[in-house]
Structure 1
Amino acid sequence: MAAAVAAGFIPPALVLIILAVTEPVSISWVVAALVAGGVAAGWSTLAVVRVWASRAERIEAVAASLEKHEPPPHLIPDERDAMGRAERRLLDAADAVADEMESLAEQRDEFEAILRSMTEAVVVTGSRGEVVLLNEPARRMFALSPDANYNGRDFVELCRDPRLQEFVARATASGGGQVTSAEIALQTPAPRHVSASAAPVRRSGAGGAAWVFVFHDITQLKSYETQRADFVANLTHEIRTPLSALYGYAETLIRGVDDPDIARRFLGIIEHQARRLSRLIDDLISLSDLEHGLTPLKLDDLDAGTVLKDAEELMREQAQRKGVELSLDCPDNLPPIRGDRDRLHQVMVNLLDNAIKYTPRGGNVVVSARAATSAPPESRPGVELAVSDTGEGIPAADIPRLTERFYRVDRARSRELGGTGLGLAIVKHIVQLHGGSLRIESRLREGTRVTVWIPAAAASVRSVATGTEGS
């Protein structure tokens, strides 16, 4: 500013000095020189102020952009003075900050995309245990609102389950900088098994480490492990029982039995147990092939009534020996179904065998069929094949597990009746391969009804559709 003022007064002063050397200077010339110098100084000062104001506005625009996390406006600094060089340094720093902010934004977007795609529940807490971030699976696992903001809340207050609270406290108190892992059986808000891990995240300039908690729901895996263990235990028992009988009676016969009737009875028991082992092995092979897709279906358009009649005729003798009345209820106008004749015959025989076994003497077993559509939203045309009995019924809690391998409601009675415990599991897989459905309904001391729905043949579906359009 002083330089601008001096630059305005120096030319008039020089003029006065020159005039004073050559001749006396009047007051009017002095006044004129001063006025001219003041005007020149004012114009110079105004020009400098305008330049500084313009530069100040540009610098403020850069600062405002940085505060808003936006790219700064482009500057063209004049590096001929100190202010221009300062502007250049500011511009370089602003560009570096903008690049870093853009990189951080990209990393944040990638991190959020990873969190959204993860099936595991992830919770990030601060050094004091306050929630910094949690993804959608974490909200579902801990029954938290999908829209509420839990940032700043204590994570221990949100998880609620005592076992999980103990794990969080143990992990954060370790202070060793290592990952802590554990399997936890949660009861709150819902029973489930969780594989939990906690890892510290060191932060520069912070009072302590942040923590990343990852929770993987292994409830289904635990269920599979339980089923596998049950399968091995049941299979071992199923094989050991007939083998023990075979070994014991064979050893007795080798030692010699004087009574021919006793010997024949022992041989009959050996034959019965051998057949039981054979049925068990056949069912295991059949079930394994079905589960692994090794049994291709030979699909044909079938008459549902014929499938039921063949199964009913095969099982009639067994029903008569048991003293159970077996009846068939099948209308003549059923639509044809698309299926494998042998496999559907196996389904009906297994269902009738179970019904006859568990129906007391004097009871009734009815095998029936009717046209029916599948459950919404598909509502496809098809046929329901059902087997109903007047047995003791099945408790409601056991019905969902009836199609599990070797599952029995009454184990002792089932083994006494000679079942392998695989029949309904085989039925379920055959029905699923046909694109059908299986439904089991039962009431204690009233009886059980097992219904199999099989889709109608394509020709029947087309005829039904044509008839509907024509009407």
Structure 2
Amino acid sequence: MAGVHFATGGRSITSLSALLPMRFNSSLLPALALAFVAAFLMAVGGIQLTIVLAVLLVWIGSILLIGTTALEPAAGNKLSEFSADRMSGLVEHSETPVVVTRRQRILIANSSARKLLGGHIIDQDVRIALRHPKAVQLIESEDGGSALIRGLVRRQDIWQINRKLLDGGLGVFEFINRTAEADISRAHTDFVANASHELRTPLASIIGYVETLQEDVEDLDPKMAASFLNTIETEAKRLQSLVSDLMSLSRVEAEKHDQPSDIVDLSKLTERAALDAAGPRNKDRVDFESHGDFKVSGDQQQLEQLIRNLVDNAFNYGAADKPVTVRLQPQGEKRVRLSVKDRGEGIPPEHIPHLTRRFYRTDPGRSRASGGTGLGLAIVKHIVERHGGRMMIDSKLGQGTQVKVTLPLACSKK
């Protein structure tokens, strides 16, 4: 019978064996054998051969259809297992936490998800793993969607959870951390508010004194008028310094990802910048010493600004009759340390972690009186980061403050 040729649907099938699938349930063999035996008996009994072939074809087709249907669950299970393993491998090392659930039970959690929610969440109910009302509401909704959740793991964090529903009761959860975006937005808001306040104060002073001069221009005492003009000049210079520092900070932040490539002689630059920052009056109080000839890859203008800011701070907050020490010392074979030390009152320990924040002042009145803008150390911090360095501030009450900046030498590995 296997050699019988017949046509169906315009396509020629050379043998009945072509009808058999590559994989079928071995329990169907007895039924197929019975079909061939019955067809053989029908042919021997004198029934027309075409009728016998038609009946055999229908019989075999029915058996194979039932067998294929019976195989579908097992094949589906194997496919699901294969797909789960493959999906797990694809998302395991993703920086984005990903969780795959089957009927609300966690089937897959990549390394980022386990780090976020804990390694114990595998095979746990996803509602218990997340434990947040808004997350549970998203999970129990009939459709996919997203939710922005505050305090999912820590009180201040913000996560966006995206949920996608798949066939077979599968669900994919993607966790996107929005905390940094919120922090940046809050920092920008605070910066604008602080900058506006800092700009408004000298402007208000200038406008007030100018209005007074305009109103009493004829009757105003010359000495008082001169005093008013001196105040206007002081506030205008303060305003000019503030705008200059804001522009410097903006430039440094804009270039922070651009690695500087110029070779700078740090020893000569430090000595010159330190003396310039001290000015003619304090030039003799600069105690400079370089323990070597150090060259770094850097932006000369920014490095000079770094040194000027540190030395200027040391003179503003150090004792009036004490020297300011500036040192360059090797740190191993690949780095150099710049240290600037004053001998002033020192800084309370609780202020030290905040000194590089924009507009942060330990003594606002003294800072403004000395012409400080509150941006000097923030600028220094960004310059140090751009040059691949590190900054550390040490201070002891009654003994003074020392700022240490460590930079990589030219042609050295960090």
Q: Shorter-chain TM-score: what band?
A: 0.7 to 0.9
- Give the 3-state SS of the residue equivalent to 2:255 in structure 1: coil
In the alignment, is residue 428 of structure 1 matched against residue 381 of structure 2? yes
User: AA paired with 1:166?
Assistant: P
User: Deviation digits for residues 203-222 of structure 1, max 9, x if unmatched?
Assistant: 77xxxx77655433222222
User: Deviation digits for residues 5-63 of structure 1, max 9, x if unmatched?
Assistant: xxxxxxxxxxxxxxxxxxxxxxxxxxxxxxxxxxxxxxxxxxxxxxxxxxxxxx9x955
- For residue 266 of structure 1, the aligned residue among 228, 237, 256 is 228
Deviation of 1:157 (Å) = 4.7
Q: What TM-score comes out, normalization by structure 1 length?
A: 0.64
1:184 aligns with 150
Deviation of 1:288 (Å) = 1.7
1:308 aligns with 270
Change (3 A) 1:124 1:96: closer
Q: Give runs of aligned pairs for residues 258-407 of structure 1, distance below 5 A.
A: 258-293=220-255, 299-302=262-265, 304=267, 306-317=268-279, 320=282, 326-331=285-290, 333-373=292-332, 381-407=334-360
Change (3 A) 1:229 1:319: farther
Q: Is the 8 A contact 1:338 1:454 kept in 2?
A: no
Structure 2 unaligned regions, length at least 5: 1-20, 39-55
Task: Give the total of aligned pairs.
Answer: 368
| Bigger radius of gyration among the two | 1
Q: Is the 8 A contact 2:263 2:298 kept in 1?
A: yes
- Give the 3-state SS of the residue equivalent to 1:333 in structure 2: coil
Structure 1 unaligned regions, length at least 5: 1-58, 66-71, 374-379, 463-471
Partners of 2:259 and 2:170 in 1: CA distance: 56
- Give the 3-state SS of the residue equivalent to 1:419 in structure 2: coil
Deviation of 1:334 (Å) = 3.3
Deviation of 1:244 (Å) = 0.6
User: AA paired with 2:234?
Assistant: H
Deviation of 1:275 (Å) = 1.4
Q: Is the 8 A contact 1:77 1:87 kept in 2?
A: no
- For residue 95 of structure 2, the aligned residue among 119, 132, 154 is 119
Q: Is the 8 A contact 1:77 1:88 kept in 2?
A: no
- Give the 3-state SS of the residue equivalent to 1:408 in structure 2: coil
Deviation of 1:289 (Å) = 1.9
Partners of 1:319 and 1:122 in 2: CA distance: 64
1:136 aligns with 111
1:220 aligns with 180
Q: What TM-score comes out, normalization by structure 2 length?
A: 0.72
2:50 aligns with none
Partners of 1:103 and 1:414 in 2: CA distance: 70
Partners of 2:387 and 2:253 in 1: CA distance: 13
User: AA paired with 2:109?
Assistant: L
Deviation of 1:64 (Å) = 8.2
Deviation of 1:235 (Å) = 0.7
Partners of 2:410 and 2:144 in 1: CA distance: 62
Partners of 1:134 and 1:457 in 2: CA distance: 45
Partners of 2:410 and 2:160 in 1: CA distance: 50
Q: Please, what is the CA RMSD of the aligned residues?
A: 4.1
User: Percentage identity across aligned positions?
Assistant: 31
Q: Is the 8 A contact 2:314 2:340 kept in 1?
A: yes
Partners of 1:172 and 1:191 in 2: CA distance: 21
